[in-house]
Amino acid sequence: MPRFARLFQNPDEVIDAWRETLRQGDVEGALALWLDDDSITCVLPEGNRLSGHAEIRMGLERMLARPLYLEPIACIEHITVSAAVFDSTEAVYFKNNQIEADFMINITLVLMQATSTSCTSSFFALFALRDIDSETPAVAHQ
């Protein structure tokens, strides 16, 4: 039986937790944000598709092998009673005080609140808009 992803009081906490896990290089923390289910998928910018926690763990470990800093450039959010959708363009830096981003990503985050239970399901999608270093993947998952 799949375990549920960590629950949050509001959608902004999920986004903050995601950015913090990337900043800290915390693979376990990042995986704890998702359902433990074979249906989760990660598509890397070069087109490689990863399915399930084991494959996504390897992708995150590769991505977080060096420090990663995200700076939101633009964010649009739509929040209703049972769902929240965030679309954010973010600059990705490998050094903290860097001026020019290494690459840009677009993140679409959809959170749905089940009304019959208090569990929250989250679906993320990240896509590289520009990838300077092809050895460093940006992660996408749904």
What does the domain layout of the chain look like in residue ranges?
A: 1-70+106-142
Sole residue written with tokens 């993320």 = 124
Say what the pLDDT of residue 59 is: 85
CA distance linking residue 102 with residue 128, whole number of Å: 11
Say what the pLDDT of residue 92 is: 84
CA 64 to chain centre: 12
How big is the CA angle at 31 (ends 11 and 112), to the nearest 5 degrees?
A: 30
Say what the pLDDT of residue 112 is: 66
CA nearest to 126, candidates 105, 110, 111: 105
Say what the pLDDT of residue 119 is: 39
Q: Is the Cβ–Cβ distance between 40 and 54 less than 8 Å?
A: no
pTM (2 d.p.)? 0.66
Reported CATH class of domain 1-70+106-142: alpha beta
Helix/strand/coil (H/E/C) assignment for every residue in 33-69: CCCCCCCCEEECCCCCEEEHHHHHHHHHHHHCCCCCE
Q: Print pLDDT tens along the chain (142 aa).
A: 444 455 566 777 877 888 888 889 899 988 887 766 777 777 665 667 788 888 888 988 888 888 888 888 998 988 887 778 888 888 888 888 889 998 887 777 777 665 444 434 444 444 444 443 444 444 433 3
E-strand stretches of 45-102: 49-51, 69-79, 83-93
Say what the pLDDT of residue 131 is: 41
